[in-house]
Chains A and B, each alone.
Chain A
Amino acid sequence: MKVTLFATCLVDMFQGDVGKAVVEVLERLGCDIDFPEDQICCGQPAYNSGYVEESKNAMKKMITAFEHAEYVVSPSGSCAYMLKEYPEVFKGDPIWEPKAQALAAKTYEFTEFIVNVLKIEDVGAYLEGKATYHTSCHMTRLLGVTEAPFQLLKNVKGLHYVDLPGKDRCCGFGGTFSVKMGNISGEMVNEKVLNVEETGADILIGADAGCLLNIGGRIQRQGKPIKVMHIAEVLNCR
């Protein structure tokens, strides 16, 4: 099965290891990975800040870059959701609305793709440790992917899962919110890290690069002995 990877700009620039893990896991599951060089940012930072017109050019480039794809898979629920929003953005546009609809219909978040399209719940991963999981807001509330990550994690051998108190509470990232309202965002991520610590877990897992950049940044600043991993990296451990 040919899978076209939408890496996201955060993974492309800052979290290459997540991208590598996604590629390796999907290849192991029999997918043939295609990476269109023309992919850019999904436009969310400008779009969510209210600069809808400014974000449209980026969106059009994205639609074109993925026009040939059969499945578009992304290791970020938030960025995948942005692609799903494109039809709303181009509503009433005779050329771009149908194209946006086509892209939205074939776009999947990474775990959702494995569980719902590939129909696989056990990828044969092995990772020893006590882990907890942060459910990202856009992935669960907006994209509606709630079960897939847990279905995959419960089949990771050696992994002892503990529930995160307040796991569905926003970590304070919120894209440009994290710099526009840096002090509020800082308090939010501080509480998130306290919640993670409370579980006694030595691994924090998430499925969205943005949230992990935020929570991981706080953990690193405080020098806590907690490893932050994207779920693709967990599933890539053997």
Chain B
Amino acid sequence: MAMKTSDDRFQQRVTKELDNQFMRRAVSSAQERFQTRRLQQAEELGHWEEWRSHGEEIRKHVLANLDYYLYQLSENVAKRGGHVFFAQTAQEATDYIQSIAKKKNAAKIVKSKSMVTEEINLNTALEALGCEVIETDLGEYILQVADHEPPSHIVAPALHKNKEQIRDVFKEKQGYSQTEKPEELALYVREKLRQEYLTADIGITGCNFAIAESGSITLVTNEGNADLVTALPKTQITVMGMERIVPTFEEMEVLVSLLTRSAVGQKLTSYITTLTGVKDEEDTDGPEEFHLVIVDNGRSAILGSEFQPILQCIRCAACVNACPVYRHVGGHTYGSIYSGPVGVVLSPLLGGYDDFKELPYASTLCGACTDACPVKIPLHQLIHRHRQVIVENEGKAPISEKLLMKAFGLGASSPTLYKMATKIAAPAMSPFTKNKTISKGPGPLKAWTEARDFPAPSKDSFRDWMKHRTKGGGQ
């Protein structure tokens, strides 16, 4: 799975997903669950705004000193017997990982959940070598079995499917014969995956946080799958976006506290595991070989730009869960593995405006994302900034809109023209007006009037009333 997940046009995807009632019910109820629990947890922890400021401060500090911490991290990984590889591009990352797989003659690879491996299209690269790649996160596994469907949410990748649909996926693809009860489904997958861990040659993980002072990586899961992925295979490869660093364990603790609460409304997830290097002689499990692949893939171009705050992101998806647009269109509409507000900001930066130019307009700029973000990324402002870039630098805005906005620039900036517009609005709209209402509007109003009425402009504008009234008496 690469960044881009669909070749359909944006509006085609919107229409298709708006029609998907199963998905919409699943997404809206999940959003409410996540949000309610997140707010409860924030309340229970107390001083949430101070926690957020602290989280923001940590992330900003790391980004401002990223070169220093990357150096410290790689030194410490090496000290503990690990190998570090800096990949400037997705290709460099997959080439390196392919070379390890070849060296190890890997037939089977187990993976825990990782967005960055989706971003660099790692599974395809490994499958091209003839490796069997198995996702072990329940959600990711469901999607893999369902013909490699793309994730629709960065934390809960199969959020768009309900339990009946999941049962049907296993029934159709693997002959599953039990019910749609979540416990039965989970037990079924757990038994299947257990065998895979035991026979895998390589374990691949993502990375929630890398700790510079010790060269450790922290993995946050609820299923414990990452622990098996890192404990059983002899070779471990961890792939991380280059910004996912914290200086010490102290900052890790702050960010994990923000992450688990913001992502799933939990004080702690079931497993928070910190691993350092290869296994020691006295250890009974753990990898004999450890590779840390640090992926740039466009991130260093964001660093130092006005979009830098998006690199503060800790991938909790609180913004996704708060977004009223995502609520209706779901994750697949975005056409990127990164959906919701974070996807709107990140996808054009990492994947280019050509494929993702519509995304910044899939927002009402309501600010719910910015409010929800535990590390205070001004998401709605960055979305707005994208629009400005599209209009000014990319030249990707429609010509009709440009003309309209030019007219706006002229009309709205001249009080005389503006006053004239308030006068001619009513006669201009009169052919479309019935009972002071426009039900089928022309031009841009057409889209509005599909779902709702628009009031006809008043014959006498408010300013006329103001001019002719006698003060204090109304009229």
Q: List chain A positions with a Cβ less than 8 A from chain B.
A: 7, 9, 11-16, 19-20, 23-24, 27, 33, 35, 37-41, 43, 45-46, 48-55, 57-58, 60-61, 65, 137-138, 141-142, 168-170, 172-175, 177-191, 213-214, 216-218, 220-221
Contact = CB atoms under 8 A, between A and B. Distances in A.
12 contacts: A20-B474, A35-B463, A35-B466, A40-B414, A43-B412, A54-B408, A57-B410, A65-B415, A137-B366, A178-B447, A178-B448, A184-B325
B387 A50 contact: yes
A111 B61 CA distance: 40
Given A46-B409, A48-B387, A49-B391, A170 B463 contact: no
A58 B410 CA distance: 8
Interface string B348-375: 0000000000001111111110110000
A57 B329 CA distance: 36
A179 B441 CA distance: 11
Interface string B431-475: 000000101000011111011111101101111011100011011
A43 B461 CA distance: 19
A184 B401 contact: no
Given A7-B466, A11-B462, A183-B450, 9 more contacts: A39-B415, A50-B388, A172-B324, A175-B364, A177-B363, A183-B447, A185-B364, A188-B325, A188-B328
A181 B362 contact: yes
A174 B365 contact: yes
B455 to A, nearest CB: 5
A107 B362 CA distance: 30
B303 interface: no
Interface string B394-416: 00010001000110111011110
Most chain A CB within a 10 A radius of its CB, from B413, B419, B448, B451: B451
B169 interface: no
A48 B455 CA distance: 23
B252 to A, nearest CB: 30
Nearest to A13: B457
A180 B447 contact: yes
Contact of B368 (A43, A170, A175, A218): A170
Interface hub of B418, B425, B466 (most chain A Cβ within 10 A): B466
Contacts of B471: 27, 33
Contacts of B14: 181, 183-184
Contacts of A169: 324, 327, 368
B83 interface: no
B145 interface: no
Question: Which of A33, A38, A168, A186 has the most chain B CB atoms closer than 10 A to its own CB?
Answer: A186
A9 B388 CA distance: 23
B276 interface: no
B455 A15 contact: yes
Contacts of B384: 48, 50
Contact of A51 (B368, B391, B450): B391
A175 B366 CA distance: 10
B275 interface: no
Nearest to A39: B415
Contacts, number: 207
Contacts of A174: 363-366
Contacts of A168: 368
Given A15-B455, A19-B462, A188-B325, A142 B408 contact: no
Contacts of A188: 324-325, 327-328, 364
Interface residues of B, number: 68
B368 A54 contact: no
A201 B390 CA distance: 43
A20 B466 CA distance: 8
Nearest to B422: A13
Contacts of B474: 20, 24
Contact of B364 (A12, A137, A179): A137
Contacts of A190: 451
B390 A58 contact: no
A169 B326 CA distance: 12
Nearest to A173: B364
Given A12-B422, A184-B328, A38 B415 contact: yes
Interface centre among B390, B392, B405, B439 (most CB of A within 10 A): B405
B334 to A, nearest CB: 12
A102 to B, nearest CB: 20
Nearest to B387: A50
Given A24-B474, A170-B366, A49 B405 contact: yes
Given A20-B462, A188-B328, A221 B452 contact: yes
B415 A61 contact: yes
A61 B371 CA distance: 32
Contacts of A183: 14-15, 18, 447, 450-451
A221 B461 contact: no
Contacts of B365: 48, 174-175, 177
A51 to B, nearest CB: 4
Contacts of A213: 454-455
B22 to A, nearest CB: 15
Contacts of B446: 182
Nearest to A185: B451
The 5 residue pairs across chains A and B that have the minimum distance between CB atoms: A182-B447, A174-B364, A186-B451, A50-B387, A57-B413
